[in-house]
Amino acid sequence: MAALERTTTVQQTTTNINPDIQKERDIATFNVYELTTLIDCGEDRTIARRKCQSLALNDPELKHKPVAFMSRDERYTNAIKKAIYVTKKVQEYGITDMEEQHWYRSAATKQDTYGFALHYAMFLPTLSSQGDEEQKKYWVPLAQDLKIIGTYAQTELGHGTFIRGLETTATYDPQTEEFVLHSPTVTSLKWWPGNLGKTVTHAVVLAQLYTKGVCHGLHPFIVQLRSLEDHQPLPGVKLGDIGPKLGYASNDNGFLGFDHVRIPRRNMLMKHSKVDPDGTYTKPAIQRLSYGTMVLVRVNIVRQAFISLAYAITIAVRYSAVRRQTELTPGGVEPQILDYQSQQMKLFPLVATAYAFNFAAWTTRLRYIEVIMEINSGNVESLPELHALSAGLKAFTSYVMNEGIEVCRMSCGGHGYSCASGFPELYGLATPACTYEGENTVMLLQTARYLMKCAGKVSARDKLPGMMQYLSQTKRGTWPAREDSDMLNLQLLSEAYQHRAFRMVVSAAEKLNAELAKGKPQHKAWNNCHIYLLKAATAHCHFFVVQNFANHIKDTEMGNDVREVLTTLCQLYSLHGIMENSGDFLMDGYVNGDQLAKVQKLVAHLLSVMRPNAVALVDAFDIHDDLLCSEIGRYDGNVYEALYEWAKQSPLNETDVHHSYYKYLRPMLQGGKAKL
């Protein structure tokens, strides 16, 4: 992309900085830009990201009033307008790299939704990964050129994560060589797909395939929903918007139903399975290959969990640096609330968590690319492990992110409740990650199922794949960390989490086998062990994040100052996790009470070590003010002036006297006065 020249200039304004927040930046012990490039996985990526963002943020056509002051109709209209404009600009700028396109679109939409989000996130990837060569040659160019706009219609009113329970049917008619799509019940209505209600023309629809009287399970079908002439729904297609939600006000999440709608046979995506003209069905060589799109989306959710948490903690830390509250001594200066240890305990572990999730996201993404390359060469051995890892991390990171945003909001007091803080919109956009693309409890249970299979291989002395080898290598015993220096050793911290994961996986397997030994059917035994299975999956994911964080620090080239601050973060993340989950480490005597007391003391110590770098660490996330959309998280720290200016934009302030006064208040007030 020719427009991406190299630049290392800071994105934010450097004039009129609040002295409190400037002081914080002056005492930082590391180079912020160096850490930013590490977060981005390379300086070239930082430069490219900044340039793509600046193209959008400096474009006057993409500026508008705060979305908090828009009606839902205004927000939807604004989103579509921007989506079309952005699409044209992407072509004009010659941005061909998919990630650079994402950076540009995200900056254009800011803290809102992109009008064609599902088209790029699900529709196009599914066409590319599930269609055969002939289908891709026909459909992908249409989608890339936006001759058609699509979404991914899987979830139904009555079923979500349990996809085998989906009711929409696609029955093959060999006489016409067509599939007949039908929604037999109200619960079979497709429900929730983004951009479905009013925007898209097509959808990849997941439906139960019937041919020759036999159901072959769920398969993807390309279905045209609206006319390409006047955008009216086609005959037999019921379409609409599902109404307001907690967030995503600009997104027309929709419902979809079919009344015996016919589509050509070749509209079934046939890379992995197919139906011949006579109705003969050929199943995929490997069933799980058809789950590729979903695995990719879950891998991306791990990255999004980092980004959402980074937004929240940036707002909270910066605000805490300029907010002064309560005299510590009578007549003394009110301290920055960031100086209170209680505030540090709320926020600093979340800063460390954001960094841990960033590195976990990069590793998972790279692993996904490796596995896809293996699959393309005919090796599918790593797919089950990737599926289990992506499902578990999707749940683990989104749970923590969801709770972390709320902790950050509450740490900002009353101003955190205002839409001006950015928290309400951020939470509404982030929290659905706990549900979409697989409800979190179900995702953890999918990971647990894989873990139980691996535990069975240990008993049978079979070879374990990749990361799972720790199940056969871990030895029972006690944590060898005795002194403070031991407990700050990243290797020993990783070993503690490895032991916890090992013990909880083995314990869950023992509980499950005990239930089966009692003669319980598999499904009842499984249900009776849910609490153990969920804890095992969570411990496994937690171990991955800790070990990966430590390995990243050890194996990545970086300056000593950056390595030192990242080591502090990894130590805090790991020790805080032991403190918060102390029962898991104490239960079998691996950690004792004296060790736990030292862990708590070290956590308090690390808070003070991290204190001088708190603002610099969130600055390194490099989130531009126009993307953060928070008056209390501004780079310059001038939060009170910004809050006042923001409030003046409220539509209620357009007149000094609201029109309702004349209709309701004045008659009451004047009537009351007359009676007096």
Question: Known catalytic residues?
Answer: 437
Tell me the two tokens of residue 69.
Answer: 């002051």
Strands (E), 100-166: 150-153
Residues constituting the chain: 676
Angstrom distances, CA of residue 353 to CA of 255, 488, 614, 629, 632: 37, 17, 13, 22, 22
Q: Work out whether strand 178-182 and strand 169-173 pair parallel, antiparallel, or are unpaired.
A: antiparallel
Question: Running DSSP on this structure, what letter comes out for residue 663?
Answer: I
Torsion (CA) 446, 451, 452, 456 in degrees, nearest 10: 150
User: What is residue 235's DSSP assignment?
Assistant: T
H-run or E-run covering 219: strand 214-224
Nearest to 468 by CA among 476, 482, 456: 456
3-state secondary structure of 255: strand
Give the Cα-Cα-Cα angle 228, 230, 234 (nearest 5 degrees).
70
User: Residue 182 carries which DSSP code?
Assistant: E
Which burial class, exposed, middle or buried, applies to 251 when counting CB atoms under 10 A from its CB (0-12, 13-18, 19+)? buried
Exposure letters 27-51 (e unless 16+ CB within 10 A, then b): ebebebbebbbbbbbeeebbbbbbb
For residue 352, the tally of other CB atoms under 10 A from its CB is: 26
- Residues β-bridged to residue 202: 150, 224
**Cα separation, 587 vs 596, whole angstroms:** 12
**DSSP character at residue 289:** G
Q: Do 465 and 382 form a contact (C-beta atoms < 8 A)?
A: yes
* Closest listed residue to residue 352, CA positions, set 611, 563, 573: 573
d(CA 632, CA 322): 9
Rg (CA), the chain: 27
Q: Within 13 Å, how many C-alpha atoms sit on residue 340's CB side?
A: 18
Q: Which residue has the tokens 């939409």?
A: 109
